């Protein structure tokens, strides 16, 4: 088995009294497409936000490419809750901002599309290349970075061709139809040259045909850019089609993991999705 790219270790995320993610452990291996599924409000996006540095976990650690990138030791109330389990393991807090994590090679899309509204399609992708520039603001303003700029622009054009948005590159990002906006978000994430791509409900709001196209597309880019993909999705067709493995989250807890077949036949997953009477 190849080395894991992402490892989530005992991650708990608590907001006041609400435990959104409860002691999560998961691994995503190189080249895999792994899905995180679960009913609404199960804590999937929260998990993404912890992994990408938006939230600092109340407890736990995140490893990326064999390196610990996020870590927090139990504090306050959590101390009692998790005492024993990882007592003394975590000695310091590691909480990089999302931009640092992106620079390490992790990129994401958003559930509620967050494109830069006043920018064109081309610029949306070009801006994402900013984190890979080496020029300082002076040489950038004085145009001493023409070579780098040209290379970046060429790369963006190539990316836009790959995702099929080249013909609309000069339009405003927000004027694109929904499906294309989602593709643009993926292209933007790819522009940051990630190893691991996190997709938050990439097929939300898409019709079946668009979903099919997207399924094929995710596979293509995985192969083309040698990516590892970790995604949240509600469209089960897509999930079952492309995932190598699936994790199921319910009320913040992981309740199952396995191949698509295993998940489809797992009673706890079926219960979680269909609901089961408490006294049954």
Partner 1 sequence: MTTSKKKTVFLAAVLILVLAAAIAVDAALPSYHIVIKVIKKGTVYALVAVSMNLLNGFTGLFSLGQAGFMLLGAYAYGVLTIPVAKRISVYQYFDGGAIQFSLPEIFESFLGKTVGTTVGMLLALLVGGLLAALMAWLIGLPVLRLKSDYLAIATLGFAEILRAFFQWNALGPITNGSNLLKSYPDFEHATSYIILAGLMIAFIVLLINSTYGRAFKAIRDDEVAAEAMGINLAKHKRMAFIISSFFAGIGGGMLAMYNGTIAAAPFKSAMTYEILLIVVIGGIGSITGSILASYLYIFSAEWLLRGLDSGKFLFINAPAVFKNGFRMVVLSVIIMCIVLFFRKGLMGDKELPDLLGRRPKARNKEVVGK
Q: How far apart are CA 66 and CA 52, in angstroms?
A: 16
Nearest approach in angstroms of CB 126 to partner 1 is 7
Q: Give the full edge-to-edge strand order of the sheet including 228-232.
A: 106-108, 196-200, 228-232, 33-37, 245-250, 253-258
Nearest approach in angstroms of CB 133 to partner 1 is 5
> Which of residues 122 and 247 has its CB atom nearest to partner 1 in the complex?
122
Nearest approach in angstroms of CB 20 to partner 1 is 18
Query: Taking a C-beta distance cutoff of 8 angstroms, is the pair 101, 196 a contact?
Result: no
Nearest approach in angstroms of CB 6 to partner 1 is 16
> Which of residues 114 and 226 has its CB atom nearest to partner 1 in the complex?
114
Phi, psi dihedrals of residue 26, rounded to the nearest 5°: -155, 165
Q: How far apart are CA 51 and CA 150, in angstroms?
A: 33
> Which of residues 122 and 217 has its CB atom nearest to partner 1 in the complex?
122
Q: How far apart are CA 143 and CA 71, in angstroms?
A: 40
> Which of residues 23 and 124 has its CB atom nearest to partner 1 in the complex?
124
Instruction: Catalog residues that contact partner 1 under the rule CB under 8 A.
Output: 52, 54, 97-100, 102-103, 107-108, 110, 113-120, 123, 126-133, 135, 137, 140-143, 145, 149, 152, 170-172, 174-178, 181, 188-189, 191-192
Q: DSSP character for 170?
A: T
Nearest approach in angstroms of CB 120 to partner 1 is 6
């Amino acid at each position: 088995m190849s080395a894991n790219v992402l490892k989530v270790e005992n991650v708990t995320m608590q907001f006041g009294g609400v435990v959104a993610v409860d002691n999560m452990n998961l691994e995503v291996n190189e080249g895999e497409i792994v899905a995180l599924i679960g009913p609404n409000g199960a804590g999937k996006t929260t998990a993404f936000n912890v992994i990408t540095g938006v939230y600092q976990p109340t407890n736990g650690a995140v490893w990326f490419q064999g390196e610990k990138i996020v870590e927090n030791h139990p504090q306050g109330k959590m101390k009692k809750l998790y005492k024993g389990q990882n007592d003394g393991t975590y000695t310091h807090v590691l909480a990089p901002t999302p931009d640092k994590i992106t620079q390490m090679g992790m990129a994401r899309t958003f559930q509620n599309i967050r494109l830069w509204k006043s920018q064109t399609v081309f610029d949306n992708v070009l801006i994402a290349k900013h984190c890979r520039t080496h020029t300082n603001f002076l040489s950038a303003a004085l145009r001493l970075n023409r070579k780098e700029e040209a290379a970046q622009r060429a790369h963006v054009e190539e990316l836009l061709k790959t995702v099929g948005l080249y013909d609309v590159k000069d339009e405003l990002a927000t004027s694109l139809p929904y499906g294309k906006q989602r593709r643009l978000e993926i292209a933007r994430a790819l522009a940051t040259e990630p190893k691991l791509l996190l997709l938050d409900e990439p097929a939300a709001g898409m019709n079946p045909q668009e979903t099919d196209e997207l399924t094929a597309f995710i596979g293509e880019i995985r192969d083309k850019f040698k990516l590892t993909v970790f995604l949240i999705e509600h469209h089960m067709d897509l999930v079952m089609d492309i995932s190598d493995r699936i994790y199921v989250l319910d009320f913040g807890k992981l309740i199952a993991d396995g191949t698509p077949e295993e998940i489809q036949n797992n009673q706890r997953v079926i219960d979680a999705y269909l609901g089961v009477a408490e006294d049954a």
